[in-house]
Structure 1
């Protein structure tokens, strides 16, 4: 049996150090009443609400929250994008950015500065790890697509 989105958010709220809903409410600016309704699955959180929660729920990610709440299908996120017939590029999936309060390292800055390289060139130039474990090629390509989509979102806001 899969965990509902409310239980998922509650578990990650507690795991992130917010034993009470009001603590998360004070940090995130989302009311305790809204957090309560979300955890009880009376109210489905909006994508903007999830984006804000992701900043403070350090035990999970925006992507995991979006999957848990049914906005994204986990299997679709792992699929290799296909190039439409006659097209010259693949349209990368839109994955909005959820910032975590963390300053990028020089390696991350270098990666972002070189994001215009092809996926293959980035894979050769950088060794990607999370939690001390190397990422698979598909995981790395997903991160590259995420950063590229972030750039598009930021360009559209400007």
Structure 2
């Protein structure tokens, strides 16, 4: 999408969340004038600015990077296919034990992690490792 379309996209995401530009400024730390310039197609946001916007807009960082033209979908797919990290199996229990896990910008507490582990144990209790 071009700069104008991306600006409209950001505007629509913000409106969908029922946020004013000032609210998005408060949540993201990006100035309201910069946000306005993005939405009006005057300015293309840097990757650093997109990192500040993705959580308040409830959208993935990757989607914003593609939309803003920093990554093409083909480049992203190629990187994903070539990266062995994405092909590895991930142990969720090990992953949950790591610090600073968030979901849609909200920090997952130790209590949250215990609840998630309990749910996963219940879900997988009747399965074997081969399934």
TM range (shorter): 0.5 to 0.7
Number of residue pairs matched?
A: 99
Could you report, residue by residue, the CA deviation over 1:35-77 in whole angstroms, capped at 9, with x for unpaired residues? 000101111111111000012111x211111011001112332
Equivalent residue, structure 2, for 1:106: 113
TM-score (norm 2): 0.60
Tell me the equivalent position of 2:41.
41
**Bigger Rg, which one:** 2
> What aligned pairs does 1:1-20 form with structure 2 within 5 A after superposition?
4-18=5-19, 20=20
Give the TM-score normalised by the residue count of structure 1.
Answer: 0.51
1:30 paired residue number: 30
Structure 1: runs of 5 or more not aligned: 84-89, 93-97, 111-124, 126-158
Q: Which residue number corresponds to residue 64 of structure 1? A: 63
Instruction: Give distance in 1, aligned partners of 2:56 and 2:13.
Output: 10
Task: Give structure 2 stretches of 5+ with no counterpart.
Answer: 87-101, 118-128
Provide the C-alpha distance between the structure 1 equivalents of 2:113 and 2:29, rounded to a whole number of angstroms: 31
State which drifts further: 46-55 or 23-32: 23-32
The runs of 4+ residues in structure 1 deviating greater than 4 Å are none
**Cα shift at 1:106:** 3.5
Taking only aligned residues, the RMSD between alpha carbons, in angstroms, comes to 3.2
Q: 1:16 to 1:102 in 2, by over 3 A?
A: farther
**Structure 1 residues 77, 40: closer, same or farther in 2, change over 3 A?**
same
**Separation of aligned partners in 2, 1:77 and 1:91:** 14
Report 1:84-103 matches (<5 A): 90=84, 100-103=105-108
Higher helix residue share: 2
Write out per-residue CA displacement over residues 6-49 of structure 1, whole angstroms, 9 at most, x where no aligned residue. Answer: 0111111112231x211111221211111000101111111111
